[in-house]
Amino acid sequence: MNMFAKLGWFLKQEKKSYIIGITMLTLLSLITGFVPLILGRIIDTMASHQMQPQSLLYWVLLLITIAIVQYAMRYVWRMAIFGTSAQLEQILRARLFHHFMRMDKDFFHKYRTGDLMARTTNDLGAIRMVAAGGILTLVDSLSQGLITLFMMFFVVDWKLSLITIIPIPFLAIIINYIGRQLHYYSKKAQVAFASMNDKVQESVTGMKVIKTFGEEERDIQDFKDHTFAVVQANQKVYVYNALFRPSSQLIMGISTILALFFGGFQVVQGQLTVGLLVAFISYITRLTWPMIAVGQLFNILQRGAASYDRIEEILEERSHIIESPNPIQEPIQAPLEFDIAAFSYERNDSIELKNCYFKLEANQTLGIVGKTGSGKSTIFHLLMREYDDYQGQIAFANKDIKQYSLDSLLNHIGYVPQDTFLFSTSILENIRYAKPTASQDEVERAAKLAAIHQDILEFPEGYQTLVGERGVALSGGQKQRIAIARALLIDPQLLILDDALSAVDAKTEEAILNAVKESSEDRMTIISAHRISSVMHAQEILVLEDGCIVERGNHQELLALDGWYAKMYHQQELNRLKGDEVDGSKFNE
């Protein structure tokens, strides 16, 4: 019953609907409680040969009226209880989604996508069932059970009633044991389902890789293993859940036998009429449902409790990125000063950045190069405030980024990662995602800066062309340029291109870089790349190795140093002349 206490806030919020539903259920149980007595009365009247046609018509019309009233009441309580419970699922789903939007990157490293999807679907469905089927089962079984017992004890025969309820306490012991087992195995089943859900999401997303390496059969077998784990986990739930009804029917069957034996003896002795015995047997039959319902209620509550625990686990997670009490709401301004003494990821003991310092003025470009894993993307993670637990300071115009509101900070940073994500909608909506109020002219201007406008016009639907899931209908270069257009649409104070030009040719790359440079005089730009041509125009270039800056200077200065940068540049130039460009991420590894 603790589950109802946890949902107390919702039951109180929707108390009007639940009061109507509970009232209808109680009245329904009360009305139907008289039906066995009416049938018993009819039997006794017929047995005594005193039934008149008018009386028979009266009883038939009364039973028809009761049936019509029952149907009307059932409709009302279903609308009141089941209709209202849908709002609980909607509220919790919205709360979860809002929570996801406020969580930091560590949260999404901890919980896999399939697991989060399972919690927002399967688990919420189980919780909704508590607010619907749980309330129904509790009220219906309680009202019908109490009214039935009242009729048995105070209307029919209290001595016979005492004898027939002797087996019922044994049912309570059985239900208590089964309920504990159900809670344990329901939680395991939910975890197994989440793992299977995650497997489906991962396989669908990585289908191209699976097919490329011809690993369909292995992936199918892997999926079978996950589904088998779900079946195994649920089998235990089914086993214990299946015990409820037989246990209830066995106990109530014993009660019925006792009623027939002792009640029949009373009929023979003339202490009880045949009609009342039939009514009593009917009441025992009616008592079977509350007993079975108690088992179903425990099943619903245990599944709901297991799911609610999983939802609470998510909602209790807290982002490590905390805004200051009175954050700065104004746009970020140059210069950007990045001064990090040390930083390491929570999931990793190794230091990712060490003694990393640079300063970037307005209308300047900073280039960052280095091998894969050297720390380039880590710098961008810190600039985007995805992590706060570092030694040092990052500031815009001498104001620490931790003093800015997250919205104010991120609304003025245009970030384009190498692994571009596009939504399953039109090209227009993908570009306009950064600024939903942007006009068609603004969108086209951004597309021209990103050198994608002409490509878009060549599509049959132009800007209304659907890109497919994750941009599957576009080439890698087209996706990158659409992402660049999306970032440029907001005219950011700081533009970050994280190897975002890797899929475009040299000529297009040059056109984009020139357009970006000329589009704003106040903008700060940071370009991370493996291709030297992407950064050679920058006022300052940093060479990273193992999180440290090992070389810095402009293009000519770095060539003069004759270090990693110079070797990489000469190697790429040599291979460019041969028509086979080298990826800097693999050089010297």
Q: What is the pLDDT of residue 423?
A: 84
Q: b/e string for 315-328 if b means 16 or more Cβ within 10 A?
A: eebeeebebeeeeb
Tokens matching residue 136: 């129904």
Give the per-residue pLDDT at 302: 83
Residue 50 CB neighbour total at 10 angstroms: 9
The average confidence (pLDDT) of the chain is: 86
Which of 220-234, 338-352, 531-545 has the highest average model confidence (pLDDT)?
Answer: 531-545
pLDDT value at residue 223: 85
pLDDT in tens, 21-51: 999 999 998 998 888 888 888 888 887 777 7
Q: What percent of the chain has pLDDT over 90?
A: 31
Residue 581: per-residue pLDDT: 46
Q: Is pLDDT of 587 > 50?
A: no
Pairing of strands 399-400, 353-360: unpaired
Residue 588 binned pLDDT confidence (cut-offs 50, 70, 90): very low
Asked whether 403 and 418 are in contact (CB, 8 A), the reply is no
What are the DSSP calls for 293-326, one per residue?
HHHHHHHHHHHHHHHHHHHHHHHT---S----SS
Contacts of 167 (CB under 8 A, 6+ apart): 251, 254, 255, 258
CA distances from 581 to 455, 544, 568, 587 (A): 24, 21, 11, 12
- Read off the pLDDT of each residue in 155-165 and give the average, rounded to a whole number: 88
Distance of CA 435 to the CA centre of its chain: 26
Average pLDDT on 309-331 reads 87
pLDDT in tens, 96-127: 989 888 888 888 888 887 788 888 888 898 99
Structure tokens at 441: 């002219």
pLDDT per position as a tens digit, 403-443: 998 888 988 999 998 888 888 889 999 999 888 999 999 99
Torsion angle in degrees (nearest 10) through CA of 530, 533, 534, 536: 110
- Burial of 396 per CB tally in 10 Å (0-12, 13-18, 19+): buried
Which of the two residues, 20 and 303, has the higher pLDDT score? 20
Q: Are β-strands 336-343 and 391-396 bridged in parallel, bridged antiparallel, or unpaired?
A: antiparallel
All residues at 6 or more sequence positions from 381 whose CB lies less than 8 Å from its CB, including other chains: 105, 387
* Residue 402: CA count within 13 A, CB half-sphere: 12
Q: How confident is the model at residue 579 (pLDDT cuts 50, 70, 90)?
A: low
So what's the pLDDT on residue 561? 92
Residue 369 has phi, psi (to 5 degrees) of: -130, 165
Greater pLDDT, 479 or 53: 479
In this prediction, residues 450-456 reach a mean pLDDT of 91
**337 and 527 Cβ atoms separated by less than 8 Å:** no
Q: For the residues of 506-539, what is the DSSP string, one character each?
A: HHHHHHHHHHHHHH-SS-EEEEE-SSGGGTTTSS
Q: Which residues of 24-37 are buried (b: 16+ CB within 10 A; e: fewer)?
A: bbbbbbeebbbbbb
Answer whether 415's CB lies under 8 Å from 404's CB: no
Query: What would you report as the CA-atom Rg of the chain, rounded to the nearest whole angstrom?
Result: 36
**Where residue 582 falls among pLDDT bands split at 50, 70, 90?**
very low
CA distance 187 to 310: 9
Measured CA to CA, the distance from residue 471 to residue 424 in angstroms comes to: 7
pLDDT digit string, tens, across residues 549-572: 999 999 999 999 999 999 999 998
User: Taking a C-beta distance cutoff of 8 angstroms, is the pair 408, 346 a contact?
Assistant: no
d(CA 233, CA 189): 5
Mean pLDDT of 305-313: 89
Helix (H, G, I), strand (E, B) or coil at 500: coil
- Give the strand order in the sheet containing 540-545: 413-416, 494-498, 524-528, 365-370, 540-545, 548-553
pLDDT at 285: 81
d(CA 149, CA 221): 55
**pLDDT tens string 195-242:** 887 788 778 777 767 776 677 888 888 888 888 888 888 888 888 878
Q: Give dist(CA 165, CA 351) in Å, integer.
A: 71
| Rounded Cα gap, residues 433 and 482, in angstroms | 11
| Number of residues written out for the chain | 589
Contact 354, 137 (CB under 8 A): no
Residue 261, pLDDT above cutoff 50: yes
Written in H, E and C, the secondary structure of 384-432 is CCCCCCCEEEEEECCEEHHHECHHHHHCCEEEECCCCCCCCCEHHHHHH
User: Residue holding tokens 């989604």?
Assistant: 97
3-state percent breakdown (helix, strand, coil) of the chain, nearest 5 = 65, 10, 25
Sorted by sequence, the CB contacts under 8 Å of residue 443 that are 6+ apart come out as 428, 431, 432, 463, 485, 489
